[in-house]
Structures are given as structure tokens and as C-alpha cells.
Structure 1
């Protein structure tokens, strides 16, 4: 439905944005100036400790200067309550006392039809509930008791029972004046093509209503109670109300808890979702027996920026996760992703809750893999890289998958991270191949060899630290490419490695990683070995504390926030440039001892002033970083996901 700008302006004028937002946040008293319509709070869309979320009542706009979220009244309701734009307009119009225009006749007819079908589904839900509590529902009640479902849960989710009868529901609805054609359109009755009388779709099944995001019953899921019954779970067919590829089970209940928790858990089936809800995990949703669609992926992001998809740890669960990955990649966007949790020993969420309780489930959620790691594991687990052709095939699979991402910024980030991770993998594989049949030194010895073979310089530590950070955090190199490419490295091998890293970034789509790693000479291999020991050697041996990068930058062990790492990286670049500036000034002074003219004197003065300014800036930055580092070290460990 389209709404006139005048109508939207009237709603905005009647509702103060700060009042609307104030239901979700606590205003910061120090920065907020109510008299000027200027309000500040910690952002409701991401975790932060200092208020960067701003509401301007004069302009009817909000903006977070941390995560970039912005919008007006309608956007805020859409994002915090998971509503569509028309639904948010209806909600706010009602609050503001603004009458909405009547929809056009065709839309009105469609809405009336949908409302009629929803009313029929509601009648069916009441019928199934009555049957569940009656004499014919004894078997269904026994099943729910064995599943450990409490009476409050049965009531909340409106459990029902469909009698094992050809026309029990059909007769009930007919007695209430519902035409058989409407029963069929609602997905409750099947009408044979040969003209025979219609019959109930659900028979002898435990019934669970499926609601839309407005809380209306629009479909049903039925679980067979017979050991021989097939299929085990049967959902309503596609109807004007129900679209499997769009809807999510429990969405109307999960919206508010997910917003408050800042997270959402996604499980494979509605019985798993109900078990978690009963255990107190209310921010849970479930797919409806189909593979994730792009529509469902985008809809899940209305509940949390990185929902955790929880799958059984068996082959079927892993396969379902892999299918989900292919659906997720095309619609990835900045700030939104998914995590994957594979439960142990083939358990499902219900089993895990019963065996280890809510704390055990949350511990498993805390181990969830990032999407990037899940993709990497999926491809590497089925790959051999013992020939150039197989390396090229692996690289192409990654390229093809990343090529489906429509968001250019996210695509480039994936290209960077995967290219660098592939370079590590191929380098390690070639190193192992060269040492095959020979006695290989352990990781710590390799680190010593690398240090011995690479000549030290005054800037050895800082140069190596900058290179290590670039390899571990490629986006830092990408954001500061021109500056990094011109860094005055004093060590020849460091300059060579700098040029290789620049080549990877500058030619992401064409630079074959396998070719680069195979062309390294022995000294460069040594320095690469030190750079990559953190991920390919020491962690495998349980010696990550000896990692060269972590040794030079110990705070990395505390998992500092990304903005701190970038600030430190830029400071290290400043130090290298400062050292080069000092050398340049020393050279000018040496030359001036032999021949000093007006031009040389002006040059010395300019360098001296620039050097003094840069030293002061570096000193301030170093003090700021030291203070932030102190706070990071003293901060309590991050708790497991709740």
C-alpha cells in the first residue's frame, strides 16, 4: 500500500520521535538537551558503552554514529519490532489518532479475503484445541507429556489434535457456514480433481498452529502420532495467507525478546523452537521444513544482526548448514551476517536442553562459528591441494561463491580475507611438501630460524609487526593501501613481502595465490613462516602464546575491538614514517655541514617543524592507546552468549 507524504508527515507531527525511541533506550543526561530537541543514548541496534545514538526531534530523524543506523519514526518501528513498512504506518497511525485512507477496491477485496481465511484458520485452531483436551486427544496428550511439555507451553502454543477421521474438521466448519471451497483455499481440506467430496488434510496428528507476524493463525504443522505415519511432519500447503519460503515459526513471539537480547537463535523445526521457548530462550525461531530462502534470511536480520543458526551435529545438519550458506551469500550486507552452531553427538536442541540444561545450550551457542569460518571449513574439508590444478579449483570455488555477493563492500572484504587465508594454506602445504621425508623442526625452532636468517634493523620489530597485522587483518592494508605501499621499510625482505601483499590487494580477482606462494625464495619463505606460525603451527601444537605477532603485540590475546586494532596499526605506520623523517633530517644536516645554502636551510627548518609536530602527535596517540589498552586488559572476560 502506498501512503501519501502528507499522511506520513501528519503522523510524524503528532508523535514525538524522542518519546517513541525513549521506550527502548535510556537517555544520557550529560549530552541530552531536551529543550533543543537533542537526545543521546547508547544505540539500541548494537552493543556500546558510550552514547553515540542521536535523536533530533526538530528534524524527526535518528542516527547512530557508531553503526550507521538511521531513519525516522517508521524506520525505527520496522527495525525494532520486525514490522513491514505498511504495518508500522498502521501501528503509528493508531497511536497518533490519524485515520488511514480506505484501500483501493481491489486491495480491499484481497484483504477481506485474507481476513476471511484467517478467521477460518482460527476456527480450525479452536476445533483442534478442543479435540486435544477431549477423549480422542488422549494419545496426543501422552505424546506431549513424554516430550516434557508443560501445560503453560501447550496453552501458549495452542497445541491441538486432528482426529483420525476423514471429515471431522470439514463437518465442524460446514456447521459454522464455511464453504468447502474456502476450507480448501485455507489449506485445511483437500478436494479431489475427480469431483469426489473433499476430506480433511490433517488426520491423526498433533497440531501446532503457525502464526504470521501479526499473531494470526494462518497455517498448521501436524506431527504424526503413528510410528508408521508418513510424513512425520506435515505443513499446510501454500495459500494466500501462508508462504513457506517467507514465514518463520514463532516470529510474533520472538520479536520483542530478540530485540532485548540483541540476538536470535534459529532452529530446524518448530518442536525444537517450542522446547527452547519453554526453557526460557524466547528469542528462538524456526524454519518451516524448507531450505532457507533469501526472503527468510533478510527477515531474520530484523530480529538480530547475526542470528545463530543451530543445527544438529549429524550429516543432515551439516548439509542443511551448507545449503543455508549458499542462500545467505547473495544477500550479505555490511553489519549483517550469521553464525553457525553444530550441536554435539547428533543431538537436537530439545535433547541438549534435557541433558545439560539451559546453561549447556548457551555454552554451545557461545562456540558458534562465524559465517566466514563455516564457509572455509565447508570448502577445505572436501578439497585436495596437492597439485596446481586442485589449488586452482579450490580458489575458483571460493571466487564463484564470493561472486554471488551483491554488496560490493562485503564482497571485497571476503575476497581479501579468503585470499590471505588461501595464501597461508598454500604456503603451509608447499612447506610441508618440501620437508616431506625430512625431519621437520617444531614451530618454535622454525621461528628461531626465521629470526636468524632475516637481518635485523632499527625498525625490525615495528616493520615486522605492521606486516603481521596486514596478514592477520587484510582490511587494514586495503583501507590504507597507498600509505602502506609507500612505507619506507629498511629491510629488503620486508620490502619484498610488502610488494607481494600489495599485489594481492591491488589485483584481487586476477592474482593466483598458488603462483605467488610457489615463487618465494628461501629467505622469503622463512619470514612468511614466522608470519603464519600463529595460524598454521603454534595453535595446532598448543603453543599459541609463542606466536610472533602476539609476542610483539600481546594485547591481541585479549581480542581488542576492531577500532582499537586499526588505531594501533595507524600509530605503527606513523612510527615508521617518523623514523624515516628523522633519517631524512639527519642526511640534510650532514650535507649542510659541507654546503649550506638558503634552500638547504629552509629544507632543514621545514623538516624540523614537521618532525616536531609528528613526534607530538605520536606521543599523544601512544598515550591514548596505552589508556585504552589498560581498560581492555582490566575488562572482565566476555560472557558466553545468552
Structure 2
């Protein structure tokens, strides 16, 4: 249904945006000014500790300056509750007391048809439930109880039984006055092509109703109770109500818990989802056994920014997860991704819950891999890298995968991260080839700890090492400030060469393959890269006998996971400090060259550099004071680790 802009404006005028949003957030008292319609809070769309989410009642808009989320009343409901736009309009119109226009006759007929089909599906669900309770449903009840489902769960999910009869459901619905054509359209009976009589689609199966996001029964899933029966699981076909590639099982129950917890868990089958729901994982949905689709990915992002895909731990489950990766990559966007939990071999979520309980399942979810790591491990596990051609083939596979990502910013992040990791991988392989070789005659990647790169005594060594480390840890900083980084003066030759290598990796115009870059780097340079990649892979955790370059030692505030804008502000401050040194060198050279003869041009140059240097020094002092103040606030937030506040400016 299309809605007139005047209608939408009237709804917005009657409902204050801050009142609507205020049901989901707690306003920050220090920054909020209700009299001006100016409200601030921590963002409901991503995890943050300082309020960057702004609501402007005068403009009826919200915006998060951290993750970029923005919109109005209707967008807020669609993003936080997973409603469609028409559903959001209907909800707010009812709250505002605004009458909605009658739909056009054609749309009204379609809606009436869908409602009628939903009524038919509801009748079928009641029939299956009644059969489940009779003596005919004893086998189905026994199977459900064997799976550990409680009576409360059986009632909540409306377990049923389809009798092992050709037309039991058909006769029941006919007695209710349902036309045979509607039964076919609802996917409940099958009409053979050869003219034979219609018959029930589901026979001799445990039945689970599939409900849409409004809680209406729109389809069914049936599990065979015959040990030799095929297919094991049978879902309703596509109907005007049911679209497998769009729907998620249990979505109407999981939506609110997912928002509150900030997490959603995705499993393969509805029985796994029911088992997890019963165990206390209320934010669980299932894909109904279909391959991941783009529509399902987009819908899942309305539940959580990074849902966890938890498929079975067998070969088929891992293959399904890998297929999901290929579906997800093209639609990735800033702030939204997936994580992957690969369960112990041969186990499904239901097995894990029964064997290890809720705590065991949650422990597996905590170990879930980011999508990037899942992509990396999938490709590396299949690769033989004993020849230059095979290394180049791996690099091309990554290039082809990353090229499918439509979001330019996300694609760029993946390109940089993959190039850095490939550089380190190829160096590790070359180093291993110089040592032991495995039984197949080629080196395999073991992630061995790199040799430590000692610190020479050069000016601003610590700041230079921090800039290098942050470029590896946060490649977006390298990409965003590439030209400025490339022109920095480094006092240490190794840092200088390392910076040049990073810039070559980040500069698309260079076009050099990673294999060539890795081969051209000498041992100290490659060791430094390996060391920094190891720090990055360690997830900012201190390693025993940690290398001198470890970011966590030089920039301890990273333990508190500060917001990215703070990290970038510190990074830019470090660049300012290094550029100060460049100005100082320039002034020293001017002074030295003018010792014998000081003409007017030389004097003007000295005066200009001196003034610029003085101004930049004052700016650096002010920046450092502001950053130190922000650091104190970050460290004062809950869950922080008490330790001295320092941004490590110029640390040695």
C-alpha cells in the first residue's frame, strides 16, 4: 500500500520522535536539552559506551554519529522491531489516532485472499494439534518427548500430527466448507497432473506450524516418523503466503529478545530452533532448510548487526555455512556482518544443548568467528601453496571473492586485510621452506611466533612503531590517510621501509601482486610484518614473551576497546607529532645553510618555518590534553581495566 506524504507527516506530528525512541534508550542527562528538542543517548543499533546517538524533535530525525544509522519514526520501527514499512505505518497510525485510507479494490481483494488462506492454514494447524493428542498421534508424541520437548514447548509451538492417510486433512477441511482449490493454493493438498483425485501433502509426519512475523500460521514443516521415510523433512511449497527464501522460522518470537540482547542465532532446522528456545536462547531463528538468500540476510540484520550462524558440525553443515558466506559477501555493508560458529564434528545445536547444557552452547557461540576469519580459513584450508602459481591462484580467489562485495568501503577493508594477511602468510611459508618440510614436500602455515624485532635507539621510535602498528590493526586508517602517511619522515630505516611496503599494499595504482611484495622484502622487514600481524591476530591480548612492538603494551587503552573515532584522533595526533619532527629537521637545515650567509629569502623561510612550528606545537599540546581527557572518560566506563591513562605519545 502506498501512503500519502501528508498522512505520514500527520502521524509524525502527533507522535514525538523522542517519546518513540525513548522506549528503547536512556537519555544522557548532560547532553540532552529537552526544551530544544535535542536528545542524546548511546546508540540502540551498535554497542557504544559514550552517547553518539542524536534525536532532533524539531526535524523528526535521528542520527548516530558512530555507526551512521539515521531515519524517522517509521525507519526506527522497521530497524528495531523488524516491521515492514506498511506495518510500521499501521502501528503508529493506530497510536496517533490517524485513520488510514481504505486500500484500492485490487489490493483489498489480494489481502482478503491472503487472509482467507491464513484462515485455512489455521484450521489445518488446529486439525494437526487435535490429532497429536489422540491415540493416532502416540508415535509423534513419543518422538517429541524423546527429543526432550516439554509440554509447555509443545503447546507454544503447536506441535501436531498428520495422520498416515491419503485424505484425512482434505476431508476435515471439506467439512469446514473450504473449497478444494483453496487447499491446493495453501499447499495443503496435491493435485496430480494425471487427473487422479487430490490427496494430502503431509502424511504420517510430526507437524510444526510455520508462522509469519505477525504470528499467523502460513505454512508447515513435517518430519517423517518412519525411519526409512523420505524426505526426512518436508516443508510447504511456495504459496501466496509462504516464501521460503524470505521467511525465518520463529521470527515473531525472536525479534524482541534479539533486540534486547543485541544478538541473533541462526540454525538450520526448526527442531533445533525449538530446542534452543526451550533451553533459554529466545533470540534463535531457523532458515527452514533452504539456502541462505539475500532477503534472509537483510531480514536478519533487523534482528542484530552481527547474527551468529550456527549450523551442524558435520560435512553438510559446514558446506551449508560456506554457501551462506558466498550469499552474505555481496550484501555486506558498514556496521553489519555475520559470525560463524562451527560446532564440534557431528553435533547439531540440539545435541550440544542436551550434552553440555545452555552454558556449553553459549561457550560455543562466544567462540564464533567473524565472517572475515571464516572466509580466510575456508580458502586457506583448501590451498596448496608450494609453488608461485598456486600462491597466485589463492590471491586471485580472494580477489574474486572480495570483488563481489558491493559496498565500496567494506570491499576496501577486506582488500587491505587480505593483502596484509597474505603477505605474512607467504613470508611464513618461505621461512618454513628454509627449515623443515612436511611429509607432502611443501610447507604448511602453522602461525609460528615470529622472531622479535628489537628497538634501535632512534628519535620518536615509539611513535613511529605505534603508527605502523595502528596501520596494521586498523587498515582503514592506512587507506584514509595514505598520502599523509607516505610523506612522513621516519627516523628509523626499518620503519621507513615498513611504511613504504604498507603503502604499496594499500595503493591500488601499484597493482603489484602480494606474492611479489612478499618476495621483495628482506628478513627484518618481513619479521616486523609477521610480528605485527601476530599482535593483530591475538585480538589485543598480551602474549607471553610478547614482542616489543605489541600494540597493547604501547597503547594500553586499547584494552578498553575505545570507539574508532577516538583511535583515529590518537592516530592523527601521532602523525602530527612526526610531522613536527619533520619541521624541526627543516628548520635545522635552514639554520645550518644560513650560518655563512643569511640573505632575506633565507630569513623569511626561517621565520615562516619557526612560526609554523610554534603553531603546530601548541596544537599538539592542546590535542594531547583533549585526548588524555577523553581517555580518562573511556577508562571510567564500566568493565574497564584500571591502569594508568596514557596515549603513549612519543613512547620509546
- Structure 1 segment 380-391 matched on structure 2, within 5 A: 380-391=380-391
Look up the SS of the partner of 1:336 in the other structure: coil
More displaced stretch, 561-570 vs 338-347:
561-570
Q: State yes or no: 1:603 paired with 2:608.
A: no
Deviations 1:484-503 (A, max 9, x none): 01001233443333222222
More displaced stretch, 367-376 vs 97-106:
97-106
Look up the SS of the partner of 1:209 in the other structure: strand
From the superposition, tell whether residues 636 and 105 of structure 1 become closer, same or farther in structure 2 (CA, over 3 Å).
Answer: closer
Q: Structure 1: how far apart are the matches of 2:525 and 2:593? A: 35
Give 1:2 shift. 1.6
Q: Structure 1: how far apart are the matches of 2:24 and 2:528? A: 52
More displaced stretch, 80-89 vs 616-625:
616-625
Partner of residue 618 from structure 1, selected from 620, 625, 630 = 620
Deviations 1:600-632 (A, max 9, x none): 344333333332332333334334444555666
Cα pair 2:541 2:552 within 8 Å, conserved: no
Q: What residue ranges of structure 1 are gaps of 5+ in the alignment? A: none
Look up the SS of the partner of 1:446 in the other structure: coil
1:60 is matched with 60
More displaced stretch, 165-174 vs 597-606:
597-606
Q: Structure 1: how far apart are the matches of 2:27 and 2:181? A: 55
From the superposition, tell whether residues 532 and 106 of structure 1 become closer, same or farther in structure 2 (CA, over 3 Å).
Answer: closer
From the superposition, tell whether residues 536 and 348 of structure 1 become closer, same or farther in structure 2 (CA, over 3 Å).
Answer: closer
1:41 is matched with 41
From the superposition, tell whether residues 64 and 631 of structure 1 become closer, same or farther in structure 2 (CA, over 3 Å).
Answer: closer
Give 1:530 shift. 4.7
Look up the SS of the partner of 2:161 in the other structure: strand
What is the TM-score of this pair, normalised by structure 1? Answer: 0.92
Cα pair 2:560 2:640 within 8 Å, conserved: no
1:220 is matched with 220
Q: Structure 2: how far apart are the matches of 1:541 and 1:14? A: 54
1:324 is matched with 324
Q: Structure 2: how far apart are the matches of 1:12 and 1:538? A: 44
Q: Structure 2: how far apart are the matches of 1:488 and 1:297? A: 46
Give 1:49 shift. 2.4
Q: State yes or no: 1:518 paired with 2:523.
A: no
1:460 is matched with 461
Q: State yes or no: 1:397 paired with 2:397.
A: yes
Q: State yes or no: 1:196 paired with 2:196.
A: yes
Cα pair 1:443 1:538 within 8 Å, conserved: no
Give 1:597 shift. 3.9
Give 1:37 shift. 2.2
Q: Structure 1: how far apart are the matches of 2:542 and 2:600? A: 62
Cα pair 1:428 1:536 within 8 Å, conserved: no
- Structure 1 segment 134-145 matched on structure 2, within 5 A: 134-145=134-145
Partner of residue 451 from structure 2, selected from 426, 429, 446 = 446
- Structure 1 segment 23-42 matched on structure 2, within 5 A: 23-42=23-42
Deviations 1:333-361 (A, max 9, x none): 11110000112243221222222222221
1:506 is matched with 507
- Structure 1 segment 622-633 matched on structure 2, within 5 A: 622-626=624-628
- Structure 1 segment 3-22 matched on structure 2, within 5 A: 3-22=3-22
Give 1:536 shift. 8.9
Deviations 1:349-407 (A, max 9, x none): 12222222222211111111000000000000000111111011101111111111111
Look up the SS of the partner of 2:341 in the other structure: strand
Q: Structure 2: how far apart are the matches of 1:222 and 1:630? A: 58
Q: Structure 2: how far apart are the matches of 1:214 and 1:526? A: 57
Partner of residue 584 from structure 1, selected from 578, 583, 586 = 586
- Structure 1 segment 410-559 matched on structure 2, within 5 A: 410-436=410-436, 446-447=451-452, 450-451=453-454, 456-507=457-508, 510-522=511-523, 524-525=525-526, 527-528=528-529, 530-532=531-533, 534=535, 543=544, 545-546=546-547, 548-550=549-551, 553-555=554-556, 558=559
Deviations 1:281-324 (A, max 9, x none): 11111001111011111111111111011122222221111000
Look up the SS of the partner of 1:311 in the other structure: coil
Deviations 1:501-539 (A, max 9, x none): 222211278321101111234554455455455479999
- Structure 1 segment 566-577 matched on structure 2, within 5 A: 566-577=568-579
Look up the SS of the partner of 2:546 in the other structure: helix
Q: What residue ranges of structure 2 are gaps of 5+ in the alignment? A: 438-446, 642-652
Cα pair 1:444 1:546 within 8 Å, conserved: no
Q: Structure 1: how far apart are the matches of 2:557 and 2:524? A: 27
Give 1:54 shift. 1.8
More displaced stretch, 471-480 vs 555-564:
555-564
Deviations 1:31-85 (A, max 9, x none): 3233322222222111222222222222111112222111111111111110111
From the superposition, tell whether residues 293 and 527 of structure 1 become closer, same or farther in structure 2 (CA, over 3 Å).
Answer: closer
Look up the SS of the partner of 2:54 in the other structure: strand
Give 1:261 shift. 1.0
Cα pair 2:160 2:207 within 8 Å, conserved: yes
Equivalent pairs, count: 632
Q: Structure 2: how far apart are the matches of 1:366 and 1:445? A: 28
